[in-house]
Structure 1
Amino acid sequence: MMAQPAFEAIVEDFEFLEDWEDRYRHVIELGKAMDPLDEALKVPANKVQGCASQVWLFPSVEGGIFRFDGDSDAMIVRGLVAVLRTLYNDLPVTEVGKVDAQAELSRLGLQDHLSAQRSNGLRSMIARIREVAA
């Protein structure tokens, strides 16, 4: 399954940014550009377990289309939420489970530059997205 155009744009940006520090900053900037999650949605039911930092994901399905908003108290994780949004938002809910997030994210080289805790948290976020969409 082909990735969303917004994710493809991130892949292109990463190809242009050769230095990992620049890529790291880019992920943080993506997070900063995202609208903050309403405080009323930062409740235990929306909290993702398995993340070192606090992460909240608020999914919705309207007309069969999947979307989620999210937030984190860590800048890099907030950026990872933004990246995941480009992978999953606006997909038909029936297609969410077909996205090979690990393969898509490997195109960014993230797994080589995230701590074990951050990688586990990213996997937890993906699992939560897939679980809700199923």
Structure 2
Amino acid sequence: MSIQDIQQDIIGEFAMFDDWMQRYEYMIDLGKSLPLITPSEKSDDKLIKGCQSKVWLDAALVDDKIEFTADSDAIITKGIIAILIRSFNNQTPAAILEADTKFIDEIGLKEHLSPTRANGLVSMLKQLKLYAVAFQSKLNNSNSPNT
């Protein structure tokens, strides 16, 4: 399934709820299904800078696709990173780098977050994309002929 298809699914799911209290509850539920980072990987180098709460993010390249794991000490933030990971997990670095994130605006997420959580959302997106840049570079280097 493409990133765009997944994002359309998320937009549809959020549209089913009448108010933001229901959407927050849904985000909390999504956070419970987050592929969790292992406790040993909860290190300072995996912490996302710019988040009010602690958010750890890790990634691995498996069969040329990125598998993300994460965790947070705050339930809403855990839901936010779960939405982002759901959108980008098991996708190629190139697909992640080409993907837009306007689905976040379409579900109204940014406007319903406190300024510090909205900044954290931007930081999470940035870190996801940075992993994609690093893995794309690794793929490009491994596919180039030795000179």
TM-score under structure 2 length normalisation: 0.84
Q: For residues 35 and 94 of structure 1, do their structure 2 counterparts lie closer, same or farther at Cα, with a shift above 3 Å needed?
A: closer
Tell me the CA shift for residue 17 of structure 1.
Answer: 0.4
Q: Which amino acid aligns with 2:103?
A: E
Q: Measure, in 1, the Cα distance between the counterparts of 2:9 and 2:90.
A: 16
- Which of structure 1's runs of 4+ aligned residues deviate more than 3 A? 2-7
Indicate the RMSD between aligned Cα atoms, in angstroms: 1.4
Partner SS for 2:53: coil
Who wins on radius of gyration, i.e. which is larger? Answer: 2
Q: Give the conservation status (yes or no) of the 8 Å contact 1:30–1:82.
A: yes
Tell me what 1:38 maps to.
38
Offset at residue 109 of structure 1 (A): 0.5
d(CA) in 1 for partners of 2:83, 2:35? 13
Aligned-pair identity in percent equals 31
Q: Contact 1:7–1:83 at 8 Å: present in 2 too?
A: no
2:12 is matched by which residue type in structure 1? Answer: E
In structure 1, list runs of 5 or more residues that go unmatched: none
What pairs up with 1:89-108 in 2 under 5 angstroms?
Answer: 89-101=89-101, 103-108=102-107
- What SS class does the counterpart of residue 3 from structure 2 fall into? coil
Q: Which amino acid aligns with 2:130?
A: E
Query: How many residues matched?
Result: 132
Query: 2: distance between equivalents of 1:66 and 1:74?
Result: 24
1:91 aligned counterpart, secondary structure: coil
| TM-score (normalizing by structure 1) | 0.91
